[in-house]
Amino acid sequence: MQLEAQITKHHIRRRIEKRERYKKERKVGEGTYAVVYIGKQQSTGRVVAIKRIKVGQFKDGLDMSAIREVKFLSEVRHANVIELIDVFVSAGTARTLNLVLEYLSADLEMIIKDRSIVFSAADIKSWMAMTLAGLYHCHRHNILHRDLKPNNLLISPTGHLKLADFGLARQQPGPYDVMTPTVVTRWYRAPELLLGSKIYTRKIDIWAVGIIFAELMLRTPYLPGQTDLEQLDLTFRAFGTPSEETWPGVSELPDYFFDPKLIATAEPGKKSGVYPYPSRDEMRMRFSAASESALTFFIRLTMLDPSNRIDTVDCLSDMYFKEAPRATKPEQLPKLGKKTTEN
């Protein structure tokens, strides 16, 4: 594998003795191919997360997700992206690749689900601003994250939000390069992916941010489909079923199967499999606590046609971030285990 050789050469050039610099203390998570430990950096006492990946588990060597994570985290350094501190390879009969990451014990999903925490519009604005700042930095380096969701947005002890888990990330390809559409956790998957498109852009990350925004406002997942077909139905129920008039070229996507005549005659309440576009009044009812600017921002993030979705530059300059209330400072944001009141 050419990519594996490249990453191994340029990003994992580490001595085996480096393992002595870190002490594993306890296991905090385990997946099919990796185990995560809390540990300490011996020289400084800094608490770190050590992600231990079994190299020998894979037919072609390293797991591609591990390769991507090392590559992109080595290239992207930003206050709103998790820090890759070190990489080393353990010797022995079961060789392992170890990623040393900054330790972040909370994520945005945990905060959303914790009903003892009350957060305000200013808090939501702060989390959104930090998410988009990190994503802007990735996109500026031509990196698609491809798996944005609340539990991949980690929270530091100082309240700073950081993008994590770059196992599905990849470099922005050329305009005609094909990629797999089975990326992004289903609930946050953009409609072009649900319709099987193998040619897509960084706008899939923008869609995911929009659905996270909805989840922050509602305190519950917005489009929790249990299957890909149900996800498609929930998406179009919420945003309308696209046609050539509203999304030029959509009917050419591999999994587009809608009858244009049904779309043209779609009415609210009909179970034809197609749905009309929601009016602004309907959107306002769904997000009753949202300001007009917040509602407009949400709509701009979640346009079905990806060419109409805004990019990270437009996101950060949106009126939503300019109007009152100002975004809460990270250190003043609600934290797990600490009850708060409305600002």
Assess whether 107 carries a catalytic annotation: no
Spell out the SS3 assignment of the chain.
Answer: CHHHHHHHHHHCCCCHHHHHHEEEEEEEEECCCEEEEEEEECCCCCEEEEEEEEHHHECCECCHHHHHHHHHHHHCCCCCECCEEEEEEECCCCCEEEEEEECCCEEHHHHHHCCCCCCCHHHHHHHHHHHHHHHHHHHHCCEECCCCCHHHEEECCCCCEEECCCCCCEECCCCCCCCCCCCCCHHHCCHHHHCCCCCCCCHHHHHHHHHHHHHHHHCCCCCCCCCHHHHHHHHHHHHCCCCCCCCCCHHHCCCCCCCHHHHHCCCCCCCCCCCCCCCHHHHHHHCCCCCHHHHHHHHHHCCCCHHHCCCHHHHHCCHHHHCCCCCCCHHHCCCCCCCCCCC
Q: How far apart are CA 334 and CA 117, in angstroms?
A: 7
φ and ψ of 84, to 5 deg: -90, 110
- Candidates 107, 123, 147, 205; catalytic one: 147
CA dihedral for 244, 247, 249, 254, sign (positive or negative)? negative
Question: How far from the centroid of its chain's Cα atoms is residue 8's Cα?
Answer: 26
**273 neighbors 258 (Cβ within 8 angstroms):** yes
Provide the annotated active-site residues: 147
